[in-house]
Structures are given as C-alpha cells and as structure tokens.
Amino acid sequence: MSATPQATEWPPIVERIESVRQEVAQARRANRTIGFVPTMGALHAGHAALIQRARKECGYVVVSIFVNPTQFGPQEDFARYPRTLAADRKLCAEEGADLIFAPSVEEMYPPPYRTFVEVTELDQVLCGASRPKHFRGVCTVVLKLLQIVQPDVVYFGEKDYQQARIIRQMIHDLNVPVHMEVVPTVREADGLACSSRNSYLTAAQRQVAPRIYQALLELRQRVREGEREVARLETQLREALSAIPEARVDYAHIVDADTLQPLEQVDRPAIAAVAVFLGTTRLIDNIRLN
C-alpha cells in the first residue's frame, strides 16, 4: 500500500477517458488495489470520509467529479449545482486521492448517445416516485464510470440509501466485477446530514434543518419503545417534519431495508427515509430503525 500523500501533493486532474485508463493501468502494473469514489463535486466531509476509507483500504484512489445531466429533471438544479473544482482538488489532496477524473458532458455522453441503464421496481419508490428517470441517469453514469475506471472497490455514502441499494442491485445483476462499500452518513455537529445542497440554505433554514434528523431519531426511539404500526409512525414523522418552519414534506416513509417496499409493521430490517423541501432546497435523510 502506498503512503498517504501530503497535502502539497496535488492529484492530477484528467478529463479524457483514455487518460484515466492509462493511469489506472500503470497503478495496476505496480500491483496497487484501485479504489474509486464517484462524486458530483462540491465535496464536503461526507465525501472526505469516502476518500479516507478508500485511502485506508486501497493502494490507488481515483475520485471522479462530474455533474451528471441525465439524473436531473427539467425543473431541477443542474445549471446552478455548485461546481468548485479548485476546492475539490484541495480536499482530494488533503485526503490522499491519487487521481481526479473530471470529464466534460461531451466526453461522457458523445452524440448520438442512446443507451441507458435501469433497475426496475427499486427506482419507482421514495425519490424515484418524485424524480422520474433520476435513477436511470444515476445507474447509467455509475456503470459508465465503473467501466472506465475498472476499480477493485467503489465507495458510496449511506445518506443516499436508495441510490446505494439500486447500485448494489445493478452491480449484482450485470455481473460488474467490483466490490461495493457503503460508508455511514457523515453529519454536521448539530446532526444535519452533510450534502452539497446544504449550501443553498438561508441562515434561517440552516438553523432549523437539523430538526429533520431529530424527527428521525425520535421516530427510532418510539420503535425501540415498542411502537410497530407503520401508519401511526409515519403520521407522527410527517407531523414533526411539517412543523419545521418553511418545510414541505416530499415523502416520509418506512420501508423494507432490502426491497424498499412499504411495510405495515416494523417487523423486519426497516429504514425510515425522508425528503423535505426547505424553501426550494430538497434535503434527504434516513435512519435504520432496527
């Protein structure tokens, strides 16, 4: 395993697919295990934890930075999504990444582009219900990135629980030769899940945003105290979220941890997953209930 680079050793940024393949091939010839962290940039402490984990377990760490247009809907925030490549490169250097892949849209989707990847059923619930074709875009770009980098291990965060579950299914179903690791959600000191979209929040919204996680903690506590009826639990969760100033609840559901399907009773591994708008900013979070 290579030594962790110092912060002064800035990882090179490559934009071409062929360049990534050449760099990774060279690392493989040196018998280095390849770890991969796919991101859309605007890196924060959650991404840092993924890179740290990859650095600990692998000899060569690739981070991709690509704001993927195919996972954004027509009225979503693709144009204004934060793009902070200089700051992202600094974080990658501090955490010991070896290479940054930052392609253009044209490099990833050369015209005429016609091929997409879908994981059915799992993509129709939770975020998939309100963001049609979102996970089609996610799966497509992740599979392309895995084909390009060909890592031994790929790292995702548990904050995007549904995304991780869908990608794990895709890797299984399509026999992608990669091991997938899911890293626990990283939170701010007040409990708010780290997210690139947190930068959209006003000062007032940022002050009340931790109440989303607080509502999830209270829900889990009720389950631990013996409440099992999902309808009642979901009603209590929605009420707690709706009481947050400026909040509009997109969804607040308790689902089977594997199938993501609704439950009547919390009688198996379950996830409480929520999406809440604070003003125009959509935040997601989740918690394991048992």
Per-residue tokens: 137 = 């875009």
Cα–Cα distance measured from residue 137 to residue 117, given in angstroms and rounded to the nearest whole number: 8
User: In which residue ranges of the chain is CATH 3.40.50.620 found?
Assistant: 13-183
Is 47 marked active-site? Answer: yes
Helix/strand/coil percentages in the chain, nearest 5: 40, 20, 40
Cα–Cα distances (Å) from 211 to 77, 162, 243, 252, in that order, read: 24, 21, 9, 14
The answer to whether the CB of 289 falls within 8 A of the CB of 271 is yes
Residue 74: how many CB atoms within 10 A of its CB? Answer: 5
CATH class of the domain comprising 196-288 = alpha beta
Spatial CA neighbour of 205 closest among 282, 274, 278, 280:
278
The answer to whether the CB of 14 falls within 8 A of the CB of 148 is no
Active-site entry in 47, 134, 172, 253: 47
**Architecture of the domain made up of 13-183:** 3-Layer(aba) Sandwich (3.40)
pTM given for the model: 0.95
User: In which residue ranges of the chain is CATH 3.30.1300.10 found?
Assistant: 196-288
pLDDT (tens place) for every residue of the chain, 290 residues total? 444 444 458 999 999 999 999 999 999 999 999 999 999 999 999 999 999 999 999 999 999 999 999 999 998 999 999 999 999 999 999 999 999 999 999 999 999 999 999 999 999 999 999 999 999 999 999 999 999 999 999 999 999 999 999 999 999 999 999 999 999 999 999 999 999 999 999 999 999 999 999 999 999 999 999 999 999 999 999 999 999 999 999 999 999 999 999 999 999 999 999 999 999 999 999 999 98
Spatial CA neighbour of 276 closest among 244, 254, 235:
244
